[in-house]
Chains A and B, each alone.
Chain A
Amino acid sequence: MNKSAAKHRTDLFLFFSRVCCYIVLILVTLLCLFSFYFLIVNASRPHAEIMSEFSLVPGNYFFKNLSNLLTDKNIPLLQGLLNSLIISACSAALTTYFSAMTAFGIYAYNFRFKKIAFAFIMMIMMIPTQVSALGFIRLVSDMGLMDTFYPLILPSIASPIVFYYMKSYMESILPLEIVEAARVDGSNEFRTFNRIVLPIIKPAIAVQAIFSFVASWNNFFTPALILSKQKTVPILIATLRSADYMKFDLGKVYVMIFVAIIPLLIVYILLSKYILRGLTLGSIKG
């Protein structure tokens, strides 16, 4: 009798705990999402309405705003999207391929400077790119590569964080017997890496390709220093901010932000299962 009363009490306590948790979770969700909701609402309303009244209901002006934006010759949005796409896709491809290659080199082979090479890569992991920006601009301009995409793509070959992830992944999944078996079958090492190792670590490559793409897509600091005539999406956004925005059609401004943010979020939501699962692999564990 006494026992069941105690059980009843803990059940009740658990119920209230859960209710509190859900309330907090809903509040946090609202905090995360309110700005996107406002974005969607205002991107679908005409300028005059945005200026005059507050609304929580989306309008039906989204496609008109979008076509206004696309026909605006002062904002080369399509070109910007294309530039961003080229830079991000190339960076993602280079980062994942060469990080996997570096990781495989250190994982699968024994050589004299192996330990030092590994320790060195781990040490440079946290160096911010900004601190070498001055030297970087001067080097790029000496090379005659200002306002080109190469200085934004090629440095991604050396990415310590992706390397570390790839190496951890290989350690957890790639037995070296496979490499040796391929060797016995007469495959050369490079071929083994491309034909056997890469397919095995495909999940890691996919996760890191997404992250590298996003990082490059969102990058603002370096492209803003290197590019002048060519523009990427973040540069276009910053230009919009420095222009006297009150003169702008606000519908266009909201649609522009929408285009910069929402497509990527949709891709994220579709792939979130894999992204969230992949996140913790290769990271520090307690």
Chain B
Amino acid sequence: MQQIAKNKRSISYAKWGYLFISPFFIAFIVFQLIPLISTFYNSLYEYYFENLRYVGPNFVGFKNYMDIIANGELFKYAENTMIIWIIGYIPQILVAMLLAVWFTSYRLKLKFQTFFKTVAYMPNLIMASAFAMLFFMLFGNGGPVNMMLQELGITDEAILFFDTTVTTRGIIAFMNFIMWFGNTMILLMAGIMGIDQGLFESAQIDGANSFQVFFRVTLPLLMPIIAYTVIVSMIGGIQMFDVPQVLTNRLGTPDRTSMTLIMWLNRHLTQSINYGVAGAVSVIVFLTTTVLSVFVYRSLMKNYNSQKPAVKRIKKQEVKG
């Protein structure tokens, strides 16, 4: 009997672990890692399409990087992307925070919560390109928004929303806000509900009003999760593409003030083909997101480790590999 038990323990299950995780790593290496390395490699070469023929590939070192920095294009498109992201993010976090606090409030006990949450999250699932096309139609010169404004007597002539930098950027930012505040709200709600309820109760017994409770209890305790949503949203913002691409028909109009980094990258991959510059832009975007995601990684790992005690109980019985 003892012999059998001993034998069983000595069977190694490690190979099953490797077998189960191997598809993931094979797919990752083939479809992400190799392309990423190839992108890095291409960024060091002069390789573009002009006058119906390809020039290169010739090794040029960091010339592609120098070029896009020297001619100001990189900073211009990075600035566009950041500005549009910030205009959209400020209302996003404010509205998300407000609604999250209200929905979790024990004093307010709001009704129809499921309905409001469903509506708030809904725009997140919409096809961004179709949403952009819809806004293009709605805010166009002869579109319903202009018709409504004229009928209400707010304006005599049609407002050319897509010919002005401020309104174009504003519409893109507004769409981002609408598409993402529900998501942020749900994350923040999970955070607030994770706070020890006793803290709210004792604050109230001590005579704190709602504002004091929010600024002295909720906000400080929620800081890690707020930081997390900011960084994740920023990483998402850097990748902004679908909405401005369709809204401005790839051009980033007016005068390329709504051209984002990824639109610019896409331009070098499809229209004015320049693999060298496309590679350099990719590497710069990659490095930026990597720096930001160190933070995300750390907070996720911290979260994971803090949950461990609950898990340990189960893990104790884990089979030795």
Is the CB–CB distance between A125 and B319 below 8 Å?
no
Chain B 66-81: CB-based contact to A (< 8 A → 1; otherwise 0): 0000000000000000
A24 within 8 A of B: yes
Q: Contact: A221 with B118, CB < 8 Å?
A: no
* Neighbouring A residues of B250 by C-beta, 8 Å: 242
Of residues 89 through 121 on chain B, the ones whose CB sits less than 8 Å from some CB of chain A are 95, 98-99, 102, 107-108, 110, 112, 114, 116-121
* Residue interface bits B119-161, CB-to-A below 8 A is 1, else 0: 1111101111111111111100010100110010000000000
Interface pair A280/B269, CB less than 8 Å apart: no
Q: Mark B291-321, 1 if CB is under 8 A from A, else 0.
A: 0110011011101000100010011011111
For window 50-73 of chain A, which residues contact chain B by CB distance below 8 Å? 51, 53-54
Closest to A54 in B: B147
Q: Are A237 and B246 in contact (CB under 8 A)?
A: yes
B129 contacts which chain A residues (CB < 8 A)? 218, 220, 234, 237-238, 260
| Distance (whole angstroms) from the CB of A19 to the closest CB of chain B | 11
Q: How far is the CB of B204 from chain A (nearest CB, A)?
A: 12
How many angstroms from the CA of A220 to the CA of B127 in the assembled complex? 9
Q: State whether A135 and B301 are in contact (beta carbons under 8 Å apart), knowing that A158-B25, A264-B127 are contacts in the complex.
A: no
Is A193 at the interface (CB under 8 A from chain B)?
yes
In the complex the two chains form, is A286's CB within 8 Å of B222's CB? yes
Is there contact, CB below 8 Å, between A38 and B34? no
A33 and B122 CA atoms in complex are apart in Å by: 9
Flag if B187 contacts A54 (CB, 8 Å).
no
Tell me whether A273 and B39 are in contact in the complex, defined as CB-CB below 8 angstroms, given that A29-B119, A218-B126, A218-B128 are known contacts. no
Counting chain A CB atoms within 10 Å of each CB, the highest count among B16, B221, B285 belongs to B16
**What A residues does B37 contact at CB under 8 A?**
135
- CB–CB A241/B246 < 8 A: yes
| Contact in complex: B130, A237 (CB < 8 Å) | yes
On whether the beta carbons of A98 and B24 are closer than 8 Å, the reply is: yes
Q: Report how many residues on chain B are interfacial, defined by Cβ distance under 8 Å.
A: 116
Q: Does B195 contact A (CB under 8 A)?
A: yes
B286 beta carbon closer than 8 Å to chain A: yes
Question: What is the chain A residue whose CB lies nearest that of B15?
Answer: A111
B245 beta carbon closer than 8 Å to chain A: yes
Contact B321–A32 (Cβ < 8 Å):
no
Residues in chain B near residue A234, CB distance under 8 A: 127, 129-130, 242
Cβ–Cβ contact B23 & A217, under 8 A:
no
- Are the CB atoms of A154 and B31 closer together than 8 Å? yes
Complex Cα distance, B110 from A154, in Å, reads 45
- List residues of chain A with CB within 8 A of the CB of B61: none
Contact of B34 among A51, A139, A179 (CB under 8 A): A139
> A175–B316 Cα gap in the complex (Å)?
11
Tell me if B290 counts as interface (CB < 8 A to partner A).
yes
Alpha-carbon separation in the docked complex, A261 to B232 (Å): 25
CA distance A154 to B307 in the complex (A): 33
Instruction: Find chain A residues with CB under 8 A from B275 CB.
Output: 134
**B128: nearest chain-A partner, CB-CB:** A218
Please, how many angstroms separate the alpha-carbon atoms of A114 and B39 in the complex?
29
Verify B282–A133 contact, CB threshold 8 A.
yes
**Which residue, B134, B147, B187, has most C-beta atoms of chain A within 10 A?**
B134
17 pairs across A/B with beta carbons < 8 Å? A14-B108, A17-B108, A38-B138, A98-B23, A108-B17, A109-B321, A114-B17, A124-B28, A131-B286, A133-B265, A157-B23, A176-B314, A218-B129, A225-B269, A234-B130, A280-B187, A284-B225
User: Which 3 residue pairs are nearest across A and B when measured between Cβ atoms?
Assistant: A105-B20, A110-B321, A135-B35
- Known: A102-B21, A234-B127; 12 extra A-B contacts, CB below 8 A, are A21-B102, A32-B122, A33-B119, A108-B17, A108-B319, A109-B17, A158-B24, A220-B246, A241-B136, A261-B127, A276-B121, A286-B191
Interface, chain B (partner A; CB < 8 A):
13-21, 23-28, 30-32, 34-39, 41-42, 95, 98-99, 102, 107-108, 110, 112, 114, 116-123, 125-138, 142, 144, 147-148, 151, 178, 186-187, 189-191, 194-195, 221-222, 224-225, 228, 232, 235, 238-239, 241-242, 245-246, 249-250, 262, 265-266, 269-270, 275, 278-279, 282-283, 285-286, 289-290, 292-293, 296-297, 299-301, 303, 307, 311, 314-315, 317-321
Q: Which residues of A contact B (CB under 8 A)?
A: 14, 17-18, 21-22, 24-25, 28-29, 31-33, 35, 38-39, 41-42, 51, 53-54, 98-99, 101-102, 104-106, 108-114, 117, 119, 121-139, 151, 154-155, 157-158, 163-164, 171, 175-177, 179-180, 183, 189-190, 193, 214, 217-218, 220-221, 224-225, 233-234, 237-238, 240-242, 250, 253-254, 257, 260-261, 264-265, 268-269, 272-273, 275-276, 279-280, 283-286
